[in-house]
Structure 1
């Protein structure tokens, strides 16, 4: 991956902007369809701010990737242009069948792989068609920003939201960003929109006092501290830090001492690289008032992601579009989500011995113990917190309320470099048992019939045979 691929991506972004430009005259009705995670919400907010600036009538729908039935219903609506964000590439066949074939116009701005087609009423931007990785080089929000910036430089102030989506999709490595993400961050710093520093990367570090921040920490999960208020108080007291202080207020020296104390407390867990990278690293802070809410971009990503995970994505969307009236609601959802994830991580730590080994991956079936909506996040947190060995991909499975099983799979960049492609393997295995799924090489999900769970495990093992060999 190099400059040529990034230049091609920019050219493709210009083409999408050229497709949109003559349609921004207020004469057509637009519907934006986006995902409910931080990247999807940030993408929708960027596009909504653009459409609003042009006085375009539009509606926004936030949800999981639409089924054929969902897209069929979209085709029956009276909108003229449908803009899919953070999804759409994997639904190309049904979009063609139910929208393009009905004379509708479609824009797809996505970072997931999929069989995109040439069509006079379709315009799309996808890093995979440019030789870039949708897992690490650019997220949907970065792609959406790349399009709207081509329309008018006044949208450049939305760079922070583009980076928020990338952080929410875990595209930042211990060594920073790559590809388009790297160029976006450098520009935001050069323009004075974002400031870089180093520190503890604990969620809510600038929102709640230090003891509470440690108690509710799940990224990383701190064995001996997370969920244990007395232990957190003792650690903070040993450093003579006031309980009312925020971590973001401590100053560099005190923050480093706190990090050292955490490492000493958690013991062997801190010897793993995954844990150290999750605990300490780069802090990105917005320097302007374009983002309503926390100024630290990592916290902002966690905030709007929590809204989606708590099934209130519209609150995160309202906040991301600049409506400060929803800040208190969003912060409440983040707190509730932290508590939910804390319980999930406590369950997982208690069940570590329940993980089973297939030939090519490690897996656990949670049944009804874990909400299927947070399953993927729990697996990601377990990896980042060094709770699970990562020499193989990790797969979690949980029952859904409508009688199916949700599957979430995660791998490390090192495993992907060795040949793992979870999106392809999950898609193949799910289809073989009457389900459906897909995703990135490093993370993927599926929905399968509950009575085919054992068959799915066997099919997935078969689909993954041979990686890295």
Structure 2
């Protein structure tokens, strides 16, 4: 079969060839949904190829983490969803013979080079919108196929990773991601269709689905429990089944059209901007082999479930789900998800009540220890769609990392990226200017900076963003 992304075929093949000669592989990956699915794809492909492996996860790939990895004396380390930006440091370990690095990543590469490096940015593809970390691992999995092995079923996890990495925020996955979707559809593990893009279509009762829809705030429905119920009761359909509220996934196509049409009409009548109304409908990605009505059936809900594991130091649970555990690991993940939703809700409530500081070109807030550093970026992204937050400016969020340092997460929009925004450059340059380090993607990036340098850092960020946006 032809490779799904020809531009990266040679790089993926070189990485696969090196892994086949390894005595054992240490898979090292990031802790978000994209990182977990990246590791799950890589681990499954290694197992199918008969290559022994172990897995480890980290919040960030800093010097301490690299030292811990090297201390394990691995033959080969397969870095997934990070590694490119830390290649300068990784190269030092490679030169000392500590391990051979194989990197499958989609973040901005450092200047050093290594022989086994698969990254879309190295071939002119956009790592923020065309191919995720999980997608890059999928290309490796396809290159690892042998006689009788077909890894196209792993396209489902690759799509979960891409959706979790916000690569479908313009309504659908595009570029190399779309090629992976096509393979998943052909393999029978994915289905795509235009549908309501609100979170929770598989699991949330209809009133809660509408009430909690923060991405497209509709007056009289969003954040209004009674308003959502009145809206549904006023439609020409029965939103209940035996007295119980139905979920969106349980509605027939004609019923879905009735609700969607009424939502659009309400949004128009209440003055919701046209671009936000358009965002109500987009391409949804259904995992055909997962149980209907569960979090695993929809790529967006699946990714959120995974985010609720490793971000709370339970990467083992998230990886187990990616590897097929649908019993104990899934139940534990659901428990973690309930806590995760509570933390996100509390964090978003705090941001709304406290407000943000606005500079000429950016807006920001400092949550201190009120929002965990592992989820402050998610909260910032959620806040970007709220009242009082200017969607025309990137949002920068601070959270306490340790006694001396702050974790910084920055979020923009693809519309701003099209105007010239590159938050990876912004975070990297501004952090370096104050003695920190940063990087990421053009639309989303992060940094670690000294707490005492916060004001200087913001000044640098505001200036750089201003230069980028003209």
Same structural fold, with TM-score higher than 0.5 when normalized by the shorter chain: yes
Task: Give CA deviations for 1:343-386 in whole Å, capped at 9, x if unaligned.
Answer: 222333334xx323323222223333333322211221233457
Q: How does 1:54-65 map to 2 (within 5 A)?
A: 54-65=49-60
- Larger mean CA deviation between 180-189 and 203-212 belongs to 203-212
Deviation at 1:278, TM superposition (A): 4.3
- Larger mean CA deviation between 444-453 and 166-175 belongs to 166-175
Distance 1:311 1:41, change over 3 A: same
Distance 1:426 1:440, change over 3 A: same
Partner of 1:320: 322
Distance 1:293 1:364, change over 3 A: closer
Task: Give CA deviations for 1:232-285 in whole Å, capped at 9, x if unaligned.
Answer: 333333334114311111122322333355556677887235533543322211
Q: How does 1:388-467 map to 2 (within 5 A)?
A: 388-467=389-468
Q: Are the equivalent residues in 1 in contact too, given 2:368–2:398 (CA < 8 A)?
A: yes
- Larger mean CA deviation between 390-399 and 178-187 belongs to 390-399
In structure 2, C-alpha distance between the alignment counterparts of 1:290 and 1:118, rounded to whole Å: 44
Distance 1:425 1:15, change over 3 A: same
Partner of 2:7: 8
Q: How does 1:80-159 map to 2 (within 5 A)?
A: 80-115=75-110, 117-119=112-114, 122-152=115-145, 153-159=149-155
In structure 2, C-alpha distance between the alignment counterparts of 1:268 and 1:381, rounded to whole Å: 24
- Larger mean CA deviation between 431-440 and 391-400 belongs to 391-400
Q: Are the equivalent residues in 2 in contact too, given 1:33–1:62 (CA < 8 A)?
A: yes
Distance 1:425 1:293, change over 3 A: closer
In structure 2, C-alpha distance between the alignment counterparts of 1:190 and 1:143, rounded to whole Å: 19
In structure 1, C-alpha distance between the alignment counterparts of 2:218 and 2:349, rounded to whole Å: 10
Partner of 2:18: 19
Q: Are the equivalent residues in 2 in contact too, given 1:36–1:63 (CA < 8 A)?
A: yes
Task: Give CA deviations for 1:209-233 in whole Å, capped at 9, x if unaligned.
Answer: 2234344444556665555544433
In structure 1, C-alpha distance between the alignment counterparts of 2:268 and 2:299, rounded to whole Å: 29
In structure 2, C-alpha distance between the alignment counterparts of 1:387 and 1:269, rounded to whole Å: 17
Deviation at 1:124, TM superposition (A): 0.9
Partner of 2:303: 301
Structure 1: any 5+ residue segments left out of the alignment?
none
Partner of 2:289: 288
Deviation at 1:137, TM superposition (A): 0.9
Partner of 2:239: 241
Deviation at 1:462, TM superposition (A): 2.9
Distance 1:252 1:417, change over 3 A: same
Partner of 1:348: 351
Q: How does 1:69-84 map to 2 (within 5 A)?
A: 69-84=64-79
Q: Are the equivalent residues in 2 in contact too, given 1:220–1:381 (CA < 8 A)?
A: no
- Larger mean CA deviation between 446-455 and 208-217 belongs to 208-217
Partner of 2:362: 361
Distance 1:270 1:347, change over 3 A: farther
Question: Secondary structure of 1:371's match?
Answer: coil
Task: Give CA deviations for 1:116-166 in whole Å, capped at 9, x if unaligned.
Answer: 5444xx411011110111001100111111111112142111111111111
Structure 2: any 5+ residue segments left out of the alignment?
none
Task: Give CA deviations for 1:47-83 in whole Å, capped at 9, x if unaligned.
Answer: 1112222343321111212211221222122221111
How many residues are matched?
Answer: 458
In structure 2, C-alpha distance between the alignment counterparts of 1:226 and 1:341, rounded to whole Å: 17
Question: Secondary structure of 1:467's match?
Answer: helix
In structure 1, C-alpha distance between the alignment counterparts of 2:60 and 2:222, rounded to whole Å: 33
Question: Secondary structure of 2:468's match?
Answer: coil
Task: Give CA deviations for 1:184-228 in whole Å, capped at 9, x if unaligned.
Answer: 112222333321222222323212322343444445566655555
Q: 1:31 aligns with which of 22, 26, 33?
A: 26
Q: Are the equivalent residues in 2 in contact too, given 1:80–1:105 (CA < 8 A)?
A: yes
Q: How does 1:249-264 map to 2 (within 5 A)?
A: 249-262=250-263
Q: 1:170 aligns with which of 154, 166, 169?
A: 166
Q: Are the equivalent residues in 2 in contact too, given 1:43–1:141 (CA < 8 A)?
A: yes
Distance 1:207 1:124, change over 3 A: same
Question: Secondary structure of 1:135's match?
Answer: coil
Question: Secondary structure of 1:89's match?
Answer: coil
In structure 2, C-alpha distance between the alignment counterparts of 1:19 and 1:146, rounded to whole Å: 15
Q: Are the equivalent residues in 2 in contact too, given 1:100–1:106 (CA < 8 A)?
A: no
Task: Give CA deviations for 1:284-340 in whole Å, capped at 9, x if unaligned.
Answer: 112235999622222212221222334423212111110112222222322332232
Q: Are the equivalent residues in 2 in contact too, given 1:221–1:381 (CA < 8 A)?
A: no
In structure 2, C-alpha distance between the alignment counterparts of 1:339 and 1:17, rounded to whole Å: 41
- Larger mean CA deviation between 64-73 and 132-141 belongs to 64-73
